[in-house]
Amino acid sequence: MTTIASNLQAVRAAIIDAATGAGRRADEVSLLAVSKTFAQDAVRDAYQAGQTRFAESYVQEALGKISALHDLPIEWHYIGPIQSNKTRAIAENFAWVHSVDRINIAERLSAQRPAHLPPIQVCIQVNISGEGSKSGVSPDQLSILAQAIAKLPGLKLRGLMAIPAPVDNVAAQHLPFAQLRELFNQLNQQGLKLDTLSMGMSHDFAAAIAEGATIVRIGSAIFGQREYP
């Protein structure tokens, strides 16, 4: 077994533990493998070990991998920052986008989605911790943005995503995830039909699952430490 295959097996077991420990069914939580900075061979290893959903954060890097891996029926998710000059490439190449945080980007993605493809499955990124990540809509602007995105024909609004500021204490990891779930509940009470909470990474996915995550985005626990140039 490759290292990636055994890491995947351990991550899957930990997801099942976290879900059942929280009184949830394990199949309510989907594993998204974050392959940014890792070569196409790493993605192939993970695919051979049964992983079909992968996420990337840098458009240029992702396009190379998507084209090199065209022989595999991978579902590609975009989770990185979105510049307006990259929306067309994103709209043409990804099934999901988790990092939409402003209306002009959403409108461009919708308009540029090729007609022969289904709508892009979208999560709105929320700046839940205030500091930490600078990306994301603030919680008080979320409802207006969500209602506007829900009307765009090229997008299907599925839910919310957040990257909380890292904290070392496990108990403190729960709070931002609970806050995101509360915002999600409020939007559904306002009539939206959201089913996705994209939250939890290698260091905090157990807390995210306990608070209702339906997609966890995990990179280093599967592929190893990233080295940035």
Ligand X SMILES: *Cc1c(COP(=O)(O)O)cnc(C)c1O
Closest residue to ligand X, Cβ-based? 219
Whole-number Cα distances in Å, 125 to 67, 102, 221: 27, 9, 23
Please identify which residue in 163, 187, 207, 213 interacts with ligand X, judged by CB under 6 A: 163
86 scored as a contact of ligand X (CB under 6 A):
no
What's phi and psi for 99, nearest 5 deg? Answer: -120, 30
Please identify which residue in 8, 33, 34, 206 interacts with ligand X, judged by CB under 6 A: 34
Query: What tokens were used for 200?
Result: 């939890």
14 scored as a contact of ligand X (CB under 6 A):
no
Query: What tokens were used for 57?
Result: 């954060």
Please identify which residue in 51, 57, 127, 196 interacts with ligand X, judged by CB under 6 A: 57
Angle (CA) 89-159-221 rounded to 5° is 75
CB of 59 or CB of 79, closer to ligand X = 79
Angle (CA) 129-16-30 rounded to 5° is 60
Please identify which residue in 14, 16, 26, 201 interacts with ligand X, judged by CB under 6 A: 201
Determine the distance from the C-alpha atom of residue 29 to the mean position of all C-alpha atoms in its chain, rounded to a whole number.
Answer: 12
Interface with ligand X by CB under 6 A: which range of 17-25, 63-71, 186-194, 200-208?
Answer: 200-208
Binding residues (CB under 6 A) for ligand X: these are 34, 36, 57, 79, 163, 201-203, 217-221
